[in-house]
C-alpha cells in the first residue's frame, strides 16, 4: 500500500472528510483522489480476505514543513529548518504565534462552507448569510 493510499483512507474513513475536502487537502483532483482511495480499499480488502500483512511504503508523497500562524500580524509562515525551533514571527518579531494545522476544520473555512445533503450524501456549498 502506498503512502498516498494510506493518507486517502485516513482522511476519508478516520478523519471523516468527504472526497472533495480530502482531495483538496492532498492537493490532487477529486477524481484522482477517488482512484487512490479505491486502490487503497482494494488492497485492504485483499489483505483482509487472504490474510496478508499490510505494509505502507513508497508513493508520490511530500511531507509539508510545520506551519505557524502569528496572532500579532496575522501572517502564516513555515519552518524550513526542521532542526531549529521557531522563536519569533519572521515578519513582525512577535512571539505570539501558534501551530497551524492545515486542514483542521477550525482553521479551514473551505471545509466549513461545505455541507452534505443527508438524503443523497451529495455535498453542496453553503450560501452566505444574505440568502
Partner 1 sequence: MKVAITSTGNSPDATLDPRFGRCAYFVIYDTQSRSTEFIPNPAREAEDGAGPEAVKLVASRNAKKIVSGEFGLKIKPLLDSLKIQMIVLKDPGKRVSEIIEMLNH
And the C-alpha cell for 66?
A: 510545520
Count of residues that interact with partner 1, criterion CB under 8 A: 18
Dist. CA 45–CA 51, nearest whole Å: 9
The half-sphere exposure of 97 on its side-chain side, counting CA atoms within 13 A, is 26
Query: Minimal distance in Å, beta carbon 122 to partner 1?
Result: 26
**Residue 82: strand, helix, or coil:** coil
> Site for partner 1 (CB under 8 A): which residue of 38, 45, 54, 73?
73
Contacts of 16 (CB under 8 A, 6+ apart): none
Binds partner 1 by CB under 8 A, chosen from 15, 27, 104, 115: 27
Instruction: With contacts defined by CB under 8 A, name the span among 15-23, 39-47, 87-95, 122-130 that binds partner 1.
Output: 87-95
- Residue 93 as a binder of partner 1 (CB under 8 A): the answer is yes
Q: For partner 1, which is the closer residue by CB, 46 or 78?
A: 78
What is the nearest approach in angstroms of partner 1 to the Cβ of residue 54? Answer: 27
Q: Which of 42, 58, 76, 104 binds partner 1 (CB under 8 A)?
A: 76
Which CB atom, from 54 or from 92, has the smaller least distance to partner 1?
Answer: 92
CA–CA gap between residue 27 and residue 102 (Å, rounded) = 12
CA angle at residue 110 from 101 to 98, to 5 degrees? 25
Interacting residues toward partner 1 by CB under 8 A: 27, 62, 64-65, 73-81, 90-94
Amino acid at each position: 500500500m502506498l503512502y498516498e493510499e494510506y493518507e486517502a483512507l485516513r482522511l476519508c474513513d478516520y478523519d471523516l472528510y468527504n472526497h472533495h475536502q480530502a482531495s483538496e487537502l492532498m492537493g490532487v483532483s477529486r477524481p484522482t483522489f477517488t482512484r487512490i482511495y479505491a486502490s487503497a480499499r482494494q488492497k485492504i480488502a485483499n489483505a483482509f480476505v487472504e490474510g496478508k500483512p499490510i505494509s505502507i511504503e513508497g508513493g508520490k508523497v511530500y511531507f509539508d514543513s510545520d506551519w505557524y500562524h502569528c496572532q500579532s500580524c496575522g501572517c502564516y509562515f513555515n519552518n524550513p529548518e526542521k532542526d531549529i525551533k521557531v522563536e519569533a514571527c519572521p515578519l513582525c518579531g512577535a512571539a505570539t504565534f501558534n501551530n497551524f494545522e492545515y486542514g483542521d476544520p477550525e482553521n479551514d473555512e473551505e471545509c466549513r462552507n461545505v455541507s452534505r445533503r443527508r438524503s443523497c450524501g451529495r455535498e453542496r456549498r453553503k450560501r452566505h448569510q444574505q440568502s
